[in-house]
Amino acid sequence: MSVLPSRLLYLCLHFLVLYFQLQESQQSTADFRFYIENHTRNPDDLSRKQVRIYQLYSRTTGKHVQILGKKINANGDDGGKYALLVVETETFGSHVRIKGKESEHYICMNDKGKIVGRLLYAAVKIF
C-alpha cells in the first residue's frame, strides 16, 4: 500500500514541474535592445568613462596583441610599445573601445569581418 501513494506523489510532482515549465515559456522575454538603445542615446549623470592600459595575451601565439596602425596581430613582446592597449569603458553604458597607446588606432572590424586598425572608431550598431 505504501507504493501507491509514492507513485501518486511522483506523478503529481511531474505535473507540477510541467506546469511551471509551461508558465515560464509563455512569459515574454525581456527586450534589452530597448534598454541599451535608450541608455546609450541619453547617458545618465552617474555614468563615467574609465580609461586603463592593458596588454592582451594570446595563448595561440604566446605573445601579446599589438596594433601597428591598420595592421593588428598577436606577435607583440611583453611590455612592447605597440602591445600597450588603452581600454576605454563607460560605467553604465555598453561601449568598449580599445586603441593602441603608441599607434593611436582603434581595433575595428571591416565589412568582411576582418579585424583592422582605424584612427577614428566607428560606433557599431547592435541591432
CB-CB neighbours of 89 under 10 Å: 15
Residue 74 lies in a domain: yes
| Angle at 122 (CA atoms; ends 94, 127), nearest 5 degrees | 55
**Residue 4 or residue 57, greater confidence:** 57
CA atoms within 13 A of residue 48's CA, in its CB half-sphere: 3
Question: What was the pLDDT predicted at 5?
Answer: 67
The answer to whether 64 and 74 are in contact (CB under 8 A) is yes
Residue 58 lies in a domain: yes
Residue 83 lies in a domain: yes
The pTM score is: 0.57
Average pLDDT over residues 19-37: 57
Residue 1, pLDDT > 80, answer no
Residue 111, pLDDT > 80, answer yes
Residue 38 lies in a domain: no
The answer to whether 102 and 84 are in contact (CB under 8 A) is yes
> Number of structural domains, the chain?
1
- Nine cell digits for residue 21: 515549465
Residue 91 lies in a domain: yes
Residue 42 lies in a domain: no
Percentage with pLDDT > 70 across the chain:
65
pLDDT one-digit tens code per residue, 40-85: 555 555 667 778 888 999 999 999 999 999 999 999 998 899 999 9
Residue 94 lies in a domain: yes
Question: What was the pLDDT predicted at 88?
Answer: 86
CATH number at residue 57: 2.80.10.50
